[in-house]
Amino acid sequence: MSDFQIFSPKEIESLRHAGKILAQTLELMGRLVAPGITTKELDRAAEEFIRSHEGATPAFMGYHGYPATLCTSVNEQCVHGLPGDYVLKEGDIIATDCGVMYKSLYTDACRTFAVGRISEEAQHLLTVSAQALANAVSVIKAGVKVGVISSTVQGTVEGAGLTIVSALTGHGLGKTLHQFPDVPNYGEKGEGPKLPAHTLIAVEPIVCTGKDGIKESDDQWTINTKDGSLSAHFEHTLLILEDGVEVIA
């Protein structure tokens, strides 16, 4: 698809319902993240919570064969961390990325959490990455070009001395998990298509403390920073409105 998908009021109601379940799933993850829990246990809890709502299913499961509900990306893992036997320890950071599907519509959101006490460097990374997403959200409304989002994220991240992981981008979503347009985390204000009202995008800064570059791992899914530096990921699914955005999840 190379055009924007526009949602009807009825579809928007379904998206709101999915988004609410997704936001609650991520809040639950925030309460469960602690030293001693495994990423697989987090995944089980997320799946159980989502499926406890009639008609809601984990959106990532089965996507290109993905076998889990969550992506759990710890420390130098940027995205698509596969849940497993890893036991979280004090000082780690963990991104819990999740999607909820309801009435054939997709939502996608992520938060990165501190495990107990973390280093100043890790805290700076979390604060700046979350701020980059918040700053982007504050400039979006119908008629704004995608490049405005990109340049806002880039300005926030680089202004704070951190690095955009440039290979990973946000995206349109709705009927599918990834669709037109790409929403890069770097670029110029004047670039990209203009956002129409009632379309849906996922904005997702993925930021690291070292050099730009990624490396795939043996499990076929997890993507790491090439230099092993720490990485954080925050993501919202956003509905574009005439005068701003609605945070769906």
Q: Which residues in this chain contact ligand MF3 in the complex, by CB under 6 A?
A: 60, 63-64, 66, 71, 79-80, 97, 108
Contacts of residue 151, defined as CB under 8 A and 6 or more positions apart, other chains included, come to 186, 187, 188, 189
Is the CB of 137 or the CB of 160 nearer to ligand MF3?
Answer: 137
Is the CB of 47 or the CB of 108 nearer to ligand MF3?
Answer: 108
Query: 74 and 92 in contact (C-beta within 8 Å)?
Result: yes
**Closest approach of Co ion to the CB of residue 130, in Å:** 16
**Closest approach of ligand MF3 to the CB of residue 198, in Å:** 21
Closest CA to 38 of 2, 106, 92, 76: 92
Is the CB of 201 or the CB of 208 nearer to Co ion?
Answer: 201
Exposed, middle or buried, 187 (CB in 10 Å: 0-12/13-18/19+)? buried
Partner interacting with residue 97 (select from ligand MF3, Co ion, none; CB below 5-8 Å by kind): ligand MF3
**Closest approach of Co ion to the CB of residue 189, in Å:** 23
Q: Where do the H-state alpha helices sit in 140-177?
A: 146-159
Partner interacting with residue 71 (select from Co ion, ligand MF3, none; CB below 5-8 Å by kind): ligand MF3
Collapse the DSSP code of 107 into the 3-class scheme (helix H, G, I; strand E, B; otherwise coil) and give the result.
strand
Closest CA to 27 of 85, 73, 96, 84: 96
Is the CB of 172 or the CB of 192 nearer to ligand MF3?
Answer: 172
Partner interacting with residue 60 (select from ligand MF3, Co ion, none; CB below 5-8 Å by kind): ligand MF3
Is the CB of 63 or the CB of 135 nearer to ligand MF3?
Answer: 63
**Closest approach of ligand MF3 to the CB of residue 229, in Å:** 20
What's the rounded Cα separation, in Å, for the pair 226 and 36? 27
What's the rounded Cα separation, in Å, for the pair 19 and 236? 10
**Closest approach of ligand MF3 to the CB of residue 200, in Å:** 13
Q: Contact residues for Co ion (CB under 5 A)?
A: 108, 202
